[in-house]
Amino acid sequence: MILRNGLFSSESVSDGHPDKICDQISDAVLDACLAEDPASRTAIETAIKGHFVCVIGELTTKADLDVGAIVRRVLSEIGHGDGRWGLDPKGMAIMQNLSVQSPNIDAGVTRLGGEIGAGDQGMMFGYACADTPEQMPLPITLAHALMRRHKAVRDTADGEILGPDAKAQVTVRYADGAPVAVTSVLLSTQHAAGTSRPKLEELVRERIIAPVIPEQDLGPSTRYLVNPTGVFEIGGPIADAGVTGRKIIVDTYGGAARHGGGAFSGKDPTKVDRSAAYGARQIARTIVANGWAEQAELQVAYAIGVAEPVSLCIHTFGTETADWQRLHDVVEEVCSPLLTPRSIIERLDLRRPIYRQTAAFGHFGRDDLGAAWEQPAAELRSDLLATKRDVA
């Protein structure tokens, strides 16, 4: 994180947030394709408002899909199966407009000799830091944990008053580049009609916040904000429209690192917006895990149809514990071959139906998912360069 001193906030949203509903539908379609045809090419966009869903994009696959059934299943699993929150999956109007991938793009992606060209141009970032055991910034880690806890509490008897739509925001004070205290916790949640405010606040603070925010992370004047606008009975797509790809900062590092701009959900791994961001995250996390730096941000850029990255850049923000020039050289020499689309796809085993689970609560720092991009890159061996601690 570039911030050294001061306050930093990050937001997460629940799986019932309208935009996150769309991300999950897009990735559920992708998973359905990959389950039957691992070579599927997809770029799926979803929009939702009320009882209307629109699924559009490119889809080149041998899979036999029932998009309507996928939409209804996702909505039911999120918590809309019984219609009590205003949305009835059985009554959805679902429109589709899906075409095969442009032959011009296909010609660039499908290369002779089995190589894969980048599915688009652009720049992607991977980041890691020493804030947490997952090498993620503390604010986004806590915000995601609150939303996962919110979902778990909703499945309990006393949590039935909580609706699927929710947001969390956590503010952390940093000193000398390290987190020292949580200064505010904001959680807004949809709730059943007639729920008293004291009952809701007690439930949120005792059942959601307290188990997630460690006491040692709290400051003497930590501020708690629960549904600061008051009533939140109408939520999800009934209240707001949702679109795939509108929560890219929630998906990544909560604003603590840069983002290339491309969304992840609905895209197969030939789309470097997704796969290269995963590959760059693995490398950044390995650098921090090896003790070479306390922060690492890797930028990689591509030209459409070209396999090799056009650029690779590492930033450590003055936190490196190894010789910076040597670190730069090692990353450039070792990592460039690791970041071709084919290398990323094969190394991280990305042609599997694993994406719906990433579409809510973040793509990174998810050790609970066993994602390959969260495992160390074996090629970046810890003995490739010495740290200052090794020298000492």
Token pair for 24:
């999950």
Give the separation between CA 154 and CA 162, rounded to whole angstroms: 6
pLDDT, one tens digit for every residue, the chain (392 residues): 666 889 999 999 999 999 999 999 999 999 999 999 999 999 999 999 999 999 999 999 999 999 999 999 999 999 999 999 999 999 999 999 998 866 555 655 665 456 777 878 899 999 999 999 999 999 999 999 999 999 999 999 999 999 999 999 999 999 998 999 999 999 999 999 999 999 999 999 999 999 999 877 777 789 999 999 889 999 999 999 999 999 999 999 999 999 998 999 999 999 999 999 999 999 999 999 999 999 999 999 999 888 899 999 999 999 999 888 889 888 888 999 999 999 999 999 999 999 999 999 999 999 889 999 999 999 988 788 766 555 44
Nearest Cα neighbor of 311 from 181, 129, 121 is: 121
Output the DSSP codes for 274-326.
HHHHHHHHHHHHHHHHTTSBSEEEEEEEE-TT-SS-SEEEEE-TT-BSB-HHH
How many Cβ atoms from other residues are within 10 Å of residue 84's Cβ? 12
Q: Residue 149: CB partners within 8 Å, gap ≥ 6?
A: 207, 208, 211, 212
Q: Is the alpha carbon torsion for 21, 24, 28, 30 positive or negative? A: positive
For residues 275 and 344, the answer to whether their CB atoms sit within 8 Å is: yes
Pick the CATH number of 6-13+138-234 from 3.90.1650.10, 3.30.300.10, 3.90.1150.10, 3.30.420.40: 3.30.300.10
Give the separation between CA 335 and CA 312, rounded to whole angstroms: 9
Cα-flanking dihedrals φ and ψ of residue 81, to 5°?
A: -65, -35
SS3 of residue 157 by DSSP: coil
Residues of the chain with CATH 3.30.300.10: 6-13+138-234, 122-130+269-391
Matching residue, tokens 């059943």: 192
Token pair for 202:
């007690």
Residues with catalytic roles: 17, 19-20, 45, 58, 167, 232, 240-241, 246-247, 267, 271, 273
The DSSP letter of residue 102 is P
Nearest Cα neighbor of 298 from 133, 129, 174, 178 is: 129
Amino acid at 131: D
Interval 145-198: pLDDT, tens: 999 999 999 999 999 999 999 999 999 999 998 999 999 999 999 999 999 999
Give the separation between CA 296 and CA 363, rounded to whole angstroms: 17
The CATH class, in words, for 122-130+269-391 is alpha beta
pLDDT at 391: 46
Q: How many residues does the chain have?
A: 392
Matching residue, tokens 């629109």: 54
Exposed, middle or buried by CB within 10 Å (0-12, 13-18, 19+), for 387?
middle
Q: Residue 204: CB partners within 8 Å, gap ≥ 6?
A: 187, 189, 226
pTM over 0.85: yes
Token pair for 115:
């190589």
Output the DSSP codes for 248-270.
HHHHTTTTSS---S---TTB-TT
Matching residue, tokens 């290398």: 343
To which H or E segment does residue 127 belong?
Answer: strand 122-129
Q: Is the alpha carbon torsion for 329, 334, 339, 341 positive or negative? A: positive
To which H or E segment does residue 391 belong?
Answer: helix 388-391
Paired residues of 125 in beta bridges:
299
